[in-house]
A and B are shown apart, each in its own frame.
Chain A
């Protein structure tokens, strides 16, 4: 096992720079999730870590050793691909032991680690099968088994759950978490799914446009997003953003409600779960319910707020509302986020 260091890492294709000055340190044994929208550069960064993409500039180290020019096979890493990338002409057992086979370890020596990994992943009975005879979840497990048998310094996962259905995704997510707890191997995991990021990560790296937006543990990102992008990307449903008007007396919302806060604030962010639904007369915002989504444990109330625009409130449990009903909304003050015109986070208002 080993930590990783990236210093001013850059990647260009021709004249187009897609990753700009990435600085990131990953501790030994840490589970780091790279998250961001499509095209943000997270997969490219992972491929640079793996050695599958050349590094244009900067320096990358694993366990203190410079890796920029080291080919993938000598980096001592294992990678689980989104497509699983199982060798179709090899049995499950041979797939899992392939990294040892290519290093000319005798079959007897390979059998132990393969059997142990197969037991861990519940693949004992499938070792003789070929990938085409496996279900999606089983293929995913074989891909993970192949990585485990490699016993690497670090695991790399490239959106490994995207091709699974929702139930299986939850199950495999749990399996990956348990595996990391057991093995404690440094892991870099790429996903665009923020639930995966929040549930798996020791630390999350939020990326956009080839730039790291924020690095932090899941709750830091949820409670103190560094900017408007992170605020909107982390948390589901998405945070509400309300425009603020500054006048001689301070800040006010579009509907005239006054707020205390630093003058440069241009927008106020409030997560749907931090908007309290109250009677119309008790709210600082009056709104009309448009759509009610009842999820059982929670209810999403999509509203059109007077003087403000669309607002989404999330209420724990059920709520007695129908589309067209009028309601009041209150902002939970200590949960308000403020952003300046450039989208940067400002100190809280209380």
Chain B
């Protein structure tokens, strides 16, 4: 029977070839980003579509780091993204827990309203948001971005956290409460450690969303001091030319925090922590 079930080698090879083709396709833009960042300015057009640059240089990185405002944009982005991720995750975790564990009057309406906020294209509401932010004098401040990003990420993050809380058996909290915990203690000592993968995923999702957001940052920020990195990238585009090498080098550098952040949270993303809690 085992012999009959063995997959033909050609099929196995085909499967791996398909996966390899997909990975190459998905990663090619990243490779191209790195390739152009390492190509000297003078060769960018002469090298054309050659897969490997004829000469390598770190000049673009040097210029971006030491002779542009990129590091300031970068700091702004880190501040905005980390603050947004922390605030959103905190609020979404509390809301997600409430949705998962309690029944209360108006729960369905709150859920429906939160879903509703996700249905509008951002372009539709950018004007009122601009008016609101201007009215309270927060234009050109990182705070405005943190508030707006947090508000827009909370609904999705809440549903994400709720699904994680739903996956944790109620019995665990009840056992803890019988063992002597208050509900808050049960939440802190038993439930929260089991929600770390969920918190990690939510943090990662919100951080990435805030890190790469352009539309609101473009509308709400004008001054060079408060620019985030996606807006800052546009400064490499001048009236008559685009500084491709430096733009790509800045892009590569922008990937670093995202990668570091995911490296940091990836151990919390590992699922299966709750296995063994309940039967089977």
**Cβ of A89 and Cβ of B194 under 8 Å apart?**
yes
When A73-B182, A102-B189 are in contact, do A81 and B277 touch as well, CB less than 8 Å? no
Q: Mark B239-280, 1 if CB is under 8 A from A, else 0.
A: 000000000000000000000000000000000111111111
Number of residues from A at the complex interface, CB < 8 A? 33
Find the A residue at minimum CB distance from B181: A102
When A87-B190, A88-B194, A88-B276 are in contact, do A81 and B174 touch as well, CB less than 8 Å? yes
Answer yes or no: A50 CB below 8 A from chain B CBs. yes
**Cβ of A83 and Cβ of B279 under 8 Å apart?**
yes
Q: Mark A124-163, 1 if CB is under 8 A from B, else 0.
A: 0000001111101001000000100010000000000001
Find the A residue at minimum CB distance from B183: A71
Within the assembled complex, what's the spacing in Å between the Cα atoms of A301 and B211? 75
When A81-B174, A85-B174, A98-B179 are in contact, do A163 and B277 touch as well, CB less than 8 Å? no
Find the A residue at minimum CB distance from B192: A89
**Cβ of B194 and Cβ of A85 under 8 Å apart?**
no
Which residues of chain B are near A87, meaning CB under 8 Å?
172, 175-176, 190, 277
**Cβ of A131 and Cβ of B277 under 8 Å apart?**
yes
Which residues of chain B are near A139, meaning CB under 8 Å?
276, 279
Partner pick for B276 among A52, A132, A163, CB 8 A cutoff: A132
Interface centre among B176, B273, B275, B279 (most CB of A within 10 A): B279
Please give the distance in Å from A54's CB to the nearest CB on chain B.
Answer: 13
Within the assembled complex, what's the spacing in Å between the Cα atoms of A50 and B275? 26
Partner pick for B279 among A78, A130, A163, CB 8 A cutoff: A163
Find the B residue at minimum CB distance from A81: B171
Please give the distance in Å from A152's CB to the nearest CB on chain B.
Answer: 9
Q: Which of B178-192 contact A (CB under 8 A)?
A: 178-182, 185, 189-190
Partner pick for A103 among B174, B177, B180, CB 8 A cutoff: B180
Please give the distance in Å from A162's CB to the nearest CB on chain B.
Answer: 9
**Cβ of A85 and Cβ of B171 under 8 Å apart?**
yes
**Cβ of A73 and Cβ of B179 under 8 Å apart?**
yes
**Cβ of B171 and Cβ of A83 under 8 Å apart?**
yes
Which residues of chain A are near B185, meaning CB under 8 Å?
102
**Cβ of A85 and Cβ of B280 under 8 Å apart?**
no
Partner pick for A99 among B169, B172, B179, CB 8 A cutoff: B179
Which residues of chain B are near A88, meaning CB under 8 Å?
194, 273-277
Answer yes or no: A84 CB below 8 A from chain B CBs. yes
**Cβ of B278 and Cβ of A84 under 8 Å apart?**
yes
Q: Which of B13-43 contact A (CB under 8 A)?
A: none
Please give the distance in Å from B112's CB to the nearest CB on chain A.
Answer: 21
Which residues of chain B are near A163, meaning CB under 8 Å?
279-280
**Cβ of A89 and Cβ of B176 under 8 Å apart?**
no
Find the B residue at minimum CB distance from A162: B279
Answer yes or no: A327 CB below 8 A from chain B CBs. no
**Cβ of A73 and Cβ of B180 under 8 Å apart?**
yes
Please give the distance in Å from A247's CB to the nearest CB on chain B.
Answer: 56
**Cβ of B277 and Cβ of A86 under 8 Å apart?**
yes
Please give the distance in Å from B266's CB to the nearest CB on chain A.
Answer: 18
Within the assembled complex, what's the spacing in Å between the Cα atoms of A86 and B194? 12
Partner pick for B278 among A71, A75, A79, A85, CB 8 A cutoff: A85
Find the B residue at minimum CB distance from A79: B178
Find the B residue at minimum CB distance from A100: B180
Q: Which of B140-184 contact A (CB under 8 A)?
A: 169, 171-172, 174-182
Partner pick for B180 among A82, A85, A99, CB 8 A cutoff: A99
**Cβ of A77 and Cβ of B278 under 8 Å apart?**
no
**Cβ of B177 and Cβ of A83 under 8 Å apart?**
no
Which residues of chain A are near B178, meaning CB under 8 Å?
50-52, 72-73, 75, 77-79
Please give the distance in Å from A123's CB to the nearest CB on chain B.
Answer: 15
Within the assembled complex, what's the spacing in Å between the Cα atoms of A222 and B24? 73
**Cβ of B179 and Cβ of A102 under 8 Å apart?**
yes
Q: Mark A243-287, 1 if CB is under 8 A from B, else 0.
A: 000000000000000000000000000000000000000000000
**Cβ of A146 and Cβ of B179 under 8 Å apart?**
yes
Within the assembled complex, what's the spacing in Å between the Cα atoms of A51 and B193? 25
Which residues of chain B are near A136, meaning CB under 8 Å?
279-280
Within the assembled complex, what's the spacing in Å between the Cα atoms of A79 and B178? 7
**Cβ of B177 and Cβ of A71 under 8 Å apart?**
yes
Partner pick for B172 among A75, A85, A134, CB 8 A cutoff: A85
Find the B residue at minimum CB distance from A164: B279
Find the B residue at minimum CB distance from A89: B193
Find the B residue at minimum CB distance from A131: B276
Find the B residue at minimum CB distance from A143: B175
Which residues of chain A are near B280, meaning CB under 8 Å?
136, 163
**Cβ of A89 and Cβ of B273 under 8 Å apart?**
yes
Please give the distance in Å from A324's CB to the nearest CB on chain B.
Answer: 40
Which residues of chain A are near B174, meaning CB under 8 Å?
50, 52, 72, 79, 81, 85
Pick 18 A–B contacts, CB within 8 A, sort by A.
A50-B174, A52-B174, A72-B177, A73-B177, A73-B178, A81-B171, A83-B171, A85-B278, A87-B190, A87-B277, A88-B277, A102-B180, A102-B185, A103-B180, A132-B272, A132-B276, A136-B279, A136-B280
Chain B residues at the A interface, C-beta cutoff of 8 Å: 169, 171-172, 174-182, 185, 189-190, 193-194, 272-280
Chain A residues at the B interface, C-beta cutoff of 8 Å: 50-52, 71-73, 75, 77-79, 81-89, 98-99, 102-103, 130-134, 136, 139, 146, 150, 163
- Apart from A83-B169, A146-B179, 7 more pairs, CB < 8 Å: A50-B178, A85-B172, A89-B193, A102-B181, A102-B185, A134-B276, A150-B179
